[in-house]
Amino acid sequence: MSNKKVVFMGTPEFSVPILEAIAKSSYKISCVYTQMPKKSNRGLKVNISPIQKCAEKLKLIVKNPKNLNSDDEFEFIKKLNPDIVLVVAYGQLISKKFLNLSKEGFINIHASLLPKWRGAAPIQRSIMNSDVESGISIMKIDEGLDTGPVIKKVKIKIEESFTSEELSKKLSHISSELIVKILDEIFNKKLKFVKQNHQHATYAKKIRKEEAQIIWNESAKKILAKINGLNPNPGAWFVYKNTRYKIWKAKISKQTGPIGTIIDNKFTIGCGDKSLEVVEIQKEGKNKLQLKNFLMGLNFKKGDELK
């Protein structure tokens, strides 16, 4: 299979183990597409994507156009004449005219069990929704948003303690172990494309910043799912004494008390159902702290209210 040419499109850390797995195989990576470098908050540093770092380390050709769907990029990929284009969390929609530039089409690794959680944030949404399972779907890209036929699904159980970062790493690892075999089977015509049942589709919209605020009248289970789903980005937060705090780790307590109120001397917080015991927390502008270290520098008392 060493004569087969692959174009890879990806951006975040999730995509890196998959690119590395292909690079170690007999497939030839003709080019790697990734999102443009982003400036840091203060504009002092330009941050290239994890995939660009990986591709440069592997001495691969890297392209990061602001707009993939331009005539220039169309002609560039056409000249490459790839046998397959593999897309893993690239971050740009691919227009219809591109989809015939590859002999085997554009194949996408999506981090959900399609047709559930189509869209931008399937890992976060599955955890925030308290789903009991997640997985990956390998599918052929068509004109819609994650609507194409699926050739492979792999399921895993979502533990209650999983953060989106932990689930992402597990799904990425599974994908990296499978991808070379999947490519072999695609080229050998051993895999069958199965249409999705569009009636069962749900959508994982991009996380909005305002969603990250903790709503204390929700159940402790739902709040914990939000904390885990938004870890590491953007982080679930509340306001106490006009200062914002992010909770990074917590566990459910059977204690009950007034909603949104500190109910004991361990900073346990009353919820709509049960309560939440904080494990790791971060004051705005400060470092993350384990609760015992956090409480040493905090002047609080039982009965204080949070927002």
Kindly report, residue by residue over 160-199, the tens digit of the pLDDT: 899 999 999 999 999 999 999 999 999 999 989 999 999 9
Which of 52-56, 264-268, 297-301 shows the lowest mean pLDDT across its residues? 297-301
User: How many angstroms separate the Cα of 289 from the Cα of each of 210, 237, 292?
Assistant: 24, 15, 8
Quote the distance between the C-alpha of residue 64 and its chain's center: 20
Count other C-beta atoms under 10 Å from residue 19's C-beta: 26
Which regions of the chain carry the CATH code 3.10.25.10? Answer: 210-296
Residue 19: what pLDDT? 98
**Amino acid, res. 286:** K
CATH 3.10.25.10 fits 210-296, yes or no: yes
Does the pLDDT at position 4 exceed 70?
yes
Cβ burial, residue 9 (10 Å; 0-12/13-18/19+): buried
CATH 3.30.830.10 fits 5-204, yes or no: no
Residue 183: what pLDDT? 96
- For 82-93, give the DSSP string: -SEEEEES--S-
**Amino acid, res. 166:** E
In terms of phi and psi (left: phi > 0; alpha: psi -120 to 50; beta: otherwise), the region of 300 is: beta
CB of 87 within 8 A of CB of 136? no
Mean pLDDT, rounded, for 115-131: 97
Confidence of residue 7 (pLDDT cuts 50, 70, 90): very high
Residue 38: what pLDDT? 82
Nearest to 222 by CA among 278, 274, 257: 274
Kindly report, residue by residue over 30-73, the tens digit of the pLDDT: 999 999 988 766 666 788 999 999 999 999 999 999 999 999 99
Which regions of the chain carry the CATH code 3.40.50.170? Answer: 5-204
Bridge partners of 155, per DSSP, are 135
